[in-house]
Amino acid sequence: MPPLKAARLRTLIGCLLSLLLLSCGSPRQALRVGTNIWIGYESLYVAEHQGYLGDGTVRLVTMRNASEVQQAMHAGLLDVATLSLDEALNLIEEGQDLRVVLVMDISSGADVVLGRPDIDSLQDLRGKRIGVETTALGAVMLHACLEAADLGPKDVQIIDMGIDRHASAFRNGKIDAVVTFEPARSALLREGAHLLFDSSMAPDRVIDVMVVTAQALERDPQSVRTLIAGHFKAIEYFRSEPLLAAGIMRPRQRLHPDDIVKAFDGIRIPDIAGNHRLLGRTAGEPGLEANAEKLARLMLENKLLQGALDVKGLADDSFLPAP
């Protein structure tokens, strides 16, 4: 995309977001939480629906894809974002002062590479057009897939596209394969796409987290605690009433509730104790920061970061409920 066109697009997105956020103003500035459409983030919308987020001090803002969430964070339009860990590292490299306050989910099969029915193996991807959102998440999954196929980036045609375009581009024959996730994953598999690779084959590389700006943590720590507690309450509700919870998720996911419940099989959701282990500094535990260090090295090796990152102090378990 030409620089001028890209700049105009970012400006337009910023203006639209500003109008959305300002139109919902209240005397007390609400905690602005940006998400894209992914099953691992649906707990927040269940929490909102069930009244777990309190008296309007938390406002959820849905965006089309992770790239828009990152742009909004960079522009200062959000206080909180739900992102993959690698996307959070990209924001930190850009100068954002962020803390990871919650590990929302760990992908274990939910992120996939799908191919046309006539593509039988990873090696058959040679020379093919692969659609992928050029965030670090897409790049990490694509790298792991190509590595497993003994292929390199020059052996395929990489086509940049956001998650909102994955299903239509695949159906219309504009791409031969796609690096994607829910809801496109279930829809395309149901229509005959061939599963070539998934995140269970690249353990612990795809971790979704909640990041909060240091300013928001200082300004409104209680709303952050309310948001996190709402997530755990929503997960409890989902486990006790999966189909009812999936019904709340249906308008955003555009999947049948049975398919939504099944999709959760592809992710692990750490409980409160698990989050304390990941975000705390327990002796002998690898923790999120150790994982972030490994991921940052991998991203640097693959030119997804410009330089080394210091991730010490990134994780903060002090806003979690007591274990």
CA nearest neighbour of 84 among 71, 67, 96, 97: 67
- Residue 108 CA to residue 268 CA, distance in Å, equals 7
pLDDT of residue 204: 79
pLDDT of residue 216: 98
pLDDT of residue 4: 36
Total residues found in the chain within this entry: 323
**Helix-strand-coil split of the chain, %, nearest 5:** 50, 20, 30
* 190 Cβ neighbours under 8 A, 6+ residues apart: 259
Q: Are 261 and 80 in contact (CB under 8 A)?
A: no
Q: Per-residue pLDDT for the chain (323 aa), expressed as one digit of tens each?
A: 443 345 445 545 654 555 455 445 445 689 999 999 999 999 999 999 999 998 889 999 999 888 899 999 999 999 999 999 999 999 999 999 999 999 999 999 999 999 999 999 999 999 999 999 877 778 889 989 999 999 999 999 999 998 899 999 999 999 999 999 988 999 999 999 999 999 999 887 789 999 999 999 999 999 999 999 999 999 999 999 999 999 999 999 999 999 999 999 999 999 999 999 999 966 556 699 999 998 898 888 878 899 999 999 999 999 999 98
Residue 234 in tokens? 């929503």
- Residue 225 CA to residue 56 CA, distance in Å, equals 14
DSSP state letters, 267-306? EE---HHHHHHHHS--TT--HHHHHHHHHHHHHHHTTSSS
Q: Are 55 and 28 in contact (CB under 8 A)?
A: no
* Domain 112-201 classification at class level: alpha beta
- Residue 242 CA to residue 263 CA, distance in Å, equals 12
Same topology for domains 3-106+206-301 and 112-201, yes or no? yes
Cis peptide before 183 (omega within 30 of 0): yes
pLDDT of residue 15: 47
The CB density around residue 271, as the number of other CB atoms within 10 Å, is 12
pLDDT of residue 140: 82
pLDDT of residue 137: 76
**In whole angstroms, how far apart are CA 17 and each of 26, 36, 265?**
16, 14, 33
Name the CATH topology of 3-106+206-301.
D-Maltodextrin-Binding Protein; domain 2 (3.40.190)
Reported pTM: 0.81
Q: Where are the domains of the chain?
A: 3-106+206-301, 112-201
Label residue 180 left, alpha or beta by phi (over 0 means left) and psi (-120 to 50 means alpha): beta
